[in-house]
A and B are shown apart, each in its own frame.
Chain A
Amino acid sequence: MNEWKVICKVEDIPVLGARRVQRARGVEVAVFRNAEDKVFALLDQCPHKRGPLSQGLVFGETVVCPLHNWHIGLVDGCAQAPDVGCTIRFAVRVANGDVALDAHELNTLAIDQSVVLS
């Protein structure tokens, strides 16, 4: 059973934009909102060189990494061919305008990775 953790309202996310969700441990989670008000959540880290996807430009169901222009699918978290690689997806539930993430995933997925400040 999923335990949903409400993190914000849909309106708190800019249309065709993103917000970052800080967790107790691990890399932040990026939540995206597209033109049709669909909400997606991915680990805020490009599979290429760990660029913060939350800072990318959103169109359709794609976000473009701000560092090297990789196109990452919002639905599957995977890079568009010919680039290869996927970032971690997080389940999202939207109910009554509330955006919720799965508490278990927030607590367990990619918590040992940290943002590299090189």
Chain B
Amino acid sequence: MSQKLKLVMVGNGMAGVRTLEELIKLTPDLYDITVFGSEPHPNYNRILLSPVLAGEQTLDEIILNPLEWYSDNHITLYTSCTVTEVDRVKRVVHATNSAGDVKSAPYDRLILATGSNPFMLPVPGLKLEGVLAYRDIADTQAMIDASNTYKNAVVIGGGLLGLEAANGLMKRGMNVTVVHLGEWLMERQLDRVAGGLLQRSLEERGMQFRMQAHTQELLADQHGRVASVLFKDGSHVPAELVIMAVGIRPNTALAEKMHLHCERGIVVSDTLQTVTDPRVYAVGECAAHRGIAYGLVAPLFEQGKVLANHLAEFGIGRYTGSFTSTKLKVTGIDLFSAGDFMGGGDASTEEIVLSDPHEGVYKKLVIRNDQLVGACLYGDTVDGSWYFKLLRDGRNVADIREKLMFGESNIGDVGHEGHSKAASMPDDAEVCGCNGVKKGSICKAIKDKGLFTLDEVRKHTKASASCGSCTGLVEQILMYTAGGDYSATPKKKAICACAEQSHQEVRDAIRDNKLLTNDAVFEFLNWKKPNPSSKATGCATCRPAINYYRMSSWPKEAFDDPQSRLINERSHANIQKDGTYSVIPRMWGGETTADELRRIADVVDKYKIPTVKVTGGQRIDLLGVKKEDLVNVWKDIGMPSGHAYAKALRTVKTCVGSEWCRMGTQDSTQMGKDLERAMWRMYAPHKVKFAVSGCPRNCAEAGIKDVGIIGVESGWEMYIAGNGGIKTEVAQFFVKVKTSEEVMEYTGAFMQLYREEGWYLERTVHYVNRVGMAYVKKKILDDDAGRKALWARLQFTLEGEPDPWFEFDKAKVDTRQFEAISLEGHTP
């Protein structure tokens, strides 16, 4: 007899089986698992029933867990077996299979994953042949069969599900009428205008509509099959197939019989335990969490993850609810909505609307108290994920209000030929310019591998896994391929898979509790261990972040851990594709001398360095240096590290300025050199670049730098949070000051604010967008004492910081890395 705990699951659908997958990942041996499913199939992807109906996929293709998966994981599966009774006192589940045999299974823990039932309109004729719901494989198969024999179909319900059913039947050659009680289609997801646009577009494809129509009765032919739908106004529409798609209800029949508390679903806590019996959990569409029963897949998967965590007795997971967004799975129609998309209501609610009927584009953004609270997009939905993020984060949008409607335009910039509408992109169009991934291969991976999240798509296809500029587009394709049930749900994003905490929570914990070492952080925040007996070591994502947070929060007290740095910062050079490195010495303000150039030339000859390149940051790059030569190259060049490999101050680009230029108003070169000498060796959440121009002609391109200074006759203008990379971001005007001392103080204060508050790998532009320009101005412009204190803290931090190319001990450079262990005297 096995000593394992017994886990029984009622229901064999997506949410439940995902929970088991998560559980097996965490602890494969803790439970003996038994699953009862009333359908004859293993777990399949219910979301993809629409493409199956439309003939775009086959039933085999949508199976998520084949029968072998159950046997490989030692799960006992009873298909076609409906649970009829649960004895909570004796802790036994009783079920009946299709042959009438009774199966019983005892449990220590029980999961109810009974899903939901379609709601059927109580009209006469409901029981006629040819009247179906649209819920499972059997329904879908019956619809496909009917489409082969009959001509006219009526779909009752113009919501998400109804329209997908109608679209599928139309593709199967049927003459389809959608009957809808509401004034416009999908009124729970769309406003009137967008609903109207959708209707027009579907009408162009041949779909017919009866709006605001009350169904009175379903009439039969002489064989007892449905023949037509009769309306209250006396009119009727012929129909040999009627699909009821007016909504779903959580399936709580069994739970009610078990005397579990139900209220619009089985009521569960944040650990997905039923409030009545802590041994019994509910997950998925049948569960009501804080009054909401979710019907979309992403929140249900989040629930599954938390539930698995609890079953594995890790006890750290909490489900705190999800925001949801909607996308319609009808080929060629781009549509997105989230939050309070209707707007209206009270006086504090405002709407920004863009409508271009000719192009079929409509966008509405709903704003309340300077926050985006809802969005409804039709035609061009590429910014949906950005709006969704703003909505979820509750960010103050006052400062970006005028640009809000035009979107983040974070895609369509580079690498994907300006595409911005996922649905209309051809399959062979390139989506990810970094990794050469085409739309077709992303769609295929999503369908074949059953992917649901951006992370999964990144892992499998590499799309959006490098520079990330196509993320919006990939999310669009995911929404459009995986369908209406995709949503980017987590309210907060965990720093990595090792922990539940977000970047902000980790930062706060390190500062508030003075966590000085990585181990202290891992222990305090309960970091995930590779296995229970070993020590947490973080991963390649969180360890560099934690290392930076410690050092930036506790200068001179918390110390660098070189093994928490990725290769470039560990070897103080940039690794290249062949394993060699590049060396960029510092040239203050982009100025050099004959002596420096001679030394560089000698080094190039001596170490046979293959390529010498002038960089965009007014420096010289030596490419192809062997790792074992690095130390000597640095020594022979005799110039300071340019930190071109680090999340640190890189270059300060300058123009020649008033010293030479006949247009120059200020000595920009000197200003640049002073800034660089004051702030080099400054580690930051991400790389930082400055530029100083001596007049408004701005030859140093200060408009696309983290800090750009432009000299004018009466002083200096300061611009911040620009970026010339993946997406060009023009720096925003910050302040005008009179003296170079002020330039120094304001620049240093802004840098220190960013260093103390930025999330690891967040550039200044993203930091400022997150906290808002108004906040940065308040901290630096309005608060003289605060500004001076920030600048003082930065100076304190940088005081005595070593040059890693020369002071190896102080900079904690492990020189063992530069030499290989040799097997001297060892001959083959």
Binding site for B on A (CB under 8 A): 5, 7-8, 12, 14-17, 19-25, 28, 31, 34-36, 49-52, 55-62, 64, 66-67, 69, 71, 82, 103, 106-107, 111, 115-118
Option from B449, B577, B816 in Cβ contact (under 8 Å) with A14 = B816
B449, B459, B460, B579 interface centre (most CB from chain A within 10 Å): B579
Which single member of A57, A82, A111 contacts B459 (CB below 8 Å)?
A82
Q: Which residues of B contact A24 (CB under 8 A)?
A: 823, 826-828
- CB of B577 within 8 A of CB of A28, answer no
Q: Are B540 and A111 in contact (CB under 8 A)?
A: no
Given the known interface contacts A21-B820, A35-B534, A57-B540, the answer about A15 and B566 at a Cβ–Cβ threshold of 8 Å is no
Q: What 1/0 mask marks residues of chain B from 517 to 539 whose CB sits below 8 Å from any chain A CB?
A: 00000000000001000110111
CB distance from A111 to the nearest CB of B (A): 7
Point out residues on B near A: beta carbons under 8 Å: 449, 459-460, 530, 534-535, 537-540, 543-544, 562-567, 570-571, 575, 577-580, 624, 814, 816-817, 820-823, 826-828
Contact A55:B816 (CB < 8 A) given known A23-B823, A36-B534 = no
Residues of B within 8 A of A19 (CB): 816-817, 820-821
User: In the complex, A24→B538 CA distance in Å?
Assistant: 36
Q: How far is the CA of A70 from the CA of B802 in the complex (A)?
A: 32
Q: How far is B824's CA from A7's CA once the two chains are assembled, in angstroms?
A: 10
Interchain CB contact under 8 A, A67 and B575 = yes
**Shortest 5 CB-CB contacts between residues of A and residues of B:** A60-B530, A66-B567, A64-B540, A22-B820, A20-B820
Q: Which residues of chain B are within 8 angstroms of A67 by Cβ–Cβ distance?
A: 575, 577
Query: Can you list 6 residue pairs at the A/B interface with Cβ under 8 Å?
Result: A14-B817, A16-B537, A25-B828, A52-B579, A67-B577, A115-B579
Nearest chain-A residue to B821 (Cβ)?
A21
Which residues of chain A have C-beta atoms less than 8 A from B821's C-beta? 7-8, 12, 19-22, 31
- Chain A nearest CB from B4 CB (Å) reads 26
A34 and B535 CA atoms in complex are apart in Å by 10
Residues of A within 8 A of B828 (CB): 24-25, 107, 111
User: How long is the Cα–Cα vector from A117 to B610 in the complex, in angstroms?
Assistant: 11
With a CB–CB cut-off of 8 A, which chain A residues contact B565?
57
Would A57 and B820 count as touching, CB distance under 8 A? no
Question: Are A60 and B537 also in contact (CB < 8 A) when A23-B823, A28-B820, A111-B828 are?
Answer: yes
Inter-chain contacts of B538 with A (CB < 8 A): 59
Closest-CB distance, B95 to chain A (whole angstroms): 35
Are B539 and A59 within 8 A (Cβ)?
yes
Bound together, the chains give a CA A67 to CA B567 distance in angstroms of: 9
Q: A17-B563, A24-B827, A57-B565 are in contact. List 8 more A-B contacts (CB 8 A).
A: A19-B820, A23-B826, A25-B828, A34-B537, A57-B544, A58-B537, A59-B543, A69-B540
What B residues does A23 contact at CB under 8 A?
823, 826
Which residues of A are found within 8 Å of B544, using beta-carbon distances? Answer: 57
Q: Of the candidates A8, A35, A51, A52, which one forms a contact with B535 in the assembled complex, judged by CB atoms under 8 Å apart?
A: A35
Q: Specify which of B530, B562, B821 lies most central, judged by the most chain A CB atoms within 10 Å of its CB.
A: B821
- A112: min CB distance to chain B, Å: 11
In the complex, which residue of chain B has the Cβ closest to the Cβ of A118? B578
Contact status A57-B566, CB under 8 Å: yes
Query: Which of B449, B543, B578, B814 interacts with A116 by CB under 8 Å?
Result: B578
- CB contacts (< 8 Å) of B534 on chain A: these are 35-36, 60
Q: Write out the residue numbers on chain A whose beta carbons fall within 8 Å of the beta carbon of B563.
A: 14-17, 57-58
Tell me the complex Cα distance, A106–B822, Å.
12
The answer on a CB contact under 8 Å between B537 and A35 is yes
- Known contacts A7-B823, A59-B539; A118 and B571 CB within 8 A of each other: no
Query: Across the two chains, which residue of chain A brings its CB closest to B565?
Result: A57
Chain A residue with minimal CB distance to B818?
Answer: A20
Closest to A117 in B: B578
Residue of B nearest to A22 (CB): B820
Chain B residue with minimal CB distance to A8? B821
A67 to B568, CA, bound (A): 10
CB-based nearest B residue for A28: B820
A57 partner residues in chain B, CB cutoff 8 A: 540, 543-544, 563-567
* Contact B823–A5 (Cβ < 8 Å): yes
Residue of A nearest to B460 (CB): A82
Max count, chain A CB within 10 A of own CB: residue among B449, B540, B562: B540
Which of chain B's residues have a CB closer than 8 A to the CB of A103?
A: 826
CA distance A6 to B580 in the complex (A): 28
When distances are taken between beta carbons in the complex, the residues of chain B under 8 Å from A5 are 823, 826
Q: Which of B530, B565, B822, B823 has the most chain A CB atoms closer than 10 A to its own CB?
A: B823
| Cβ distance B646 to chain A, nearest Cβ, rounded Å | 15
* A19 vs B627: C-alpha distance when bound (angstroms): 13
A46 to B534, CA, bound (A): 26
User: Which residue of chain A has the shortest Cβ distance to B535 in the bound complex?
Assistant: A35
Complex Cα distance A115/B564, Å?
27
Give the Cβ gap from A76 to chain B, nearest Cβ, in Å: 15
Give the residue name and chain of the A residue nearest to B571 (CB): A55
> B575, A55: Cβ atoms under 8 Å?
yes
Chain A residues with CB under 8 Å of B530's CB are 59-61
Shortest distance from the beta carbon of B442 to any chain A beta carbon, whole Å: 14
Decide: B460 and A59 in contact? CB cutoff 8 A: no
The smallest C-beta distance from B822 to any residue of chain A, in angstroms, reads: 5
B21 to chain A, nearest CB (A): 14
Please determine whether A106 and B580 come into contact, CB atoms closer than 8 angstroms: no
Bound: A85/B707 CA distance, A = 44
Complex CA–CA separation, A60 to B497 (angstroms): 13
- Asked if A56 contacts B567 (CB within 8 A), the reply is yes
Q: Which residues of B contact A20 (CB under 8 A)?
A: 820-821
How far is the CB of A39 from the nearest CB of chain B, in Å?
13
- A82–B463 alpha-carbon span in the complex (Å): 13
Question: B820: which A residues are within 8 A, CB to CB?
Answer: 19-22, 28
| Max count, chain B CB within 10 A of own CB: residue among A12, A19, A66, A71 | A66
Give chain B residues whose Cβ lies under 8 Å from the Cβ of A15. Answer: 563
B566 and A12 contact, CB distance less than 8 A: no
A71 to B541, alpha carbons, bound, how many Å? 12
Q: What's the minimum C-beta distance from A59 to chain B, rounded to whole angstroms?
A: 4
Query: Are A106 and B823 within 8 A (Cβ)?
Result: yes
A20→B575 CA distance, assembly (Å): 16
State how many angstroms separate the Cβ of B239 from the closest Cβ of chain A: 46
Residue in B closest to A33 when the chains form the complex, CB atoms: B563
For the complex, what is the distance from the CA of A56 to the CA of B579, rounded to whole Å? Answer: 11
Complex: chain A residue closest to B519, CB-CB: A35
Chain B residues closer than 8 Å to A49, beta-carbon distance = 577
B179 to chain A, nearest CB (A): 44
* Identity of the chain B residue whose Cβ is nearest the Cβ of A82 in the assembled complex: B460
Q: Which residue of A lies closest to B542 (CB)?
A: A59
The residues of A that contact B566 with a CB separation of less than 8 Å are 57, 66
CB-CB under 8 A from B575, the residues of chain A are 52, 55, 66-67
Whether A55 contacts B537 in the complex (CB less than 8 A), given A7-B823, A24-B826, comes out as no
Say how far A11's CB is from chain B's closest CB, in angstroms.
10
- Complex Cα–Cα for A67 and B539 (A): 16
Q: In whole angstroms, how far apart are the Cα atoms of A19 and B815 in the complex? A: 11
- Chain B: which residue is nearest A60 at the CB level? B530
**Interfacial chain A residues near B578, Cβ < 8 Å:** 115-118
**Neighbouring A residues of B571 by C-beta, 8 Å:** 55
Q: Please, which residue of chain B has its CB at the minimum distance from the CB of A58?
A: B563
Q: Which residues of B contact A82 (CB under 8 A)?
A: 449, 459-460
Residues of B within 8 A of A14 (CB): 562-563, 814, 816-817
Complex CA distance for A62 and B826, rounded to whole angstroms: 30
B539 contacts which chain A residues (CB < 8 A)?
59-60, 62, 64
Q: How far is the CB of A4 from chain B (nearest CB, A)?
A: 13
Q: How far is the CB of A23 from chain B (nearest CB, A)?
A: 6
**B-chain residues with CB within 8 Å of residue A55 when the two chains form the complex:** 567, 570-571, 575, 579, 817
Question: Which residue in chain B gives the minimum CB-CB distance to A17?
Answer: B563
Q: A22: which of B449, B537, B577, B822 is its contact (CB, 8 Å)?
A: B822
A82 to B540, CA, bound (A): 18
Residue of A nearest to B538 (CB): A59
Contact between chains at A17 and B577 (CB < 8 Å): no
Complex: A111 Cα to B817 Cα, angstroms: 23
Return chain B residues, CB-CB under 8 Å to A117: 578, 580, 624
- CB B441 to nearest CB in A, in angstroms, measures 13
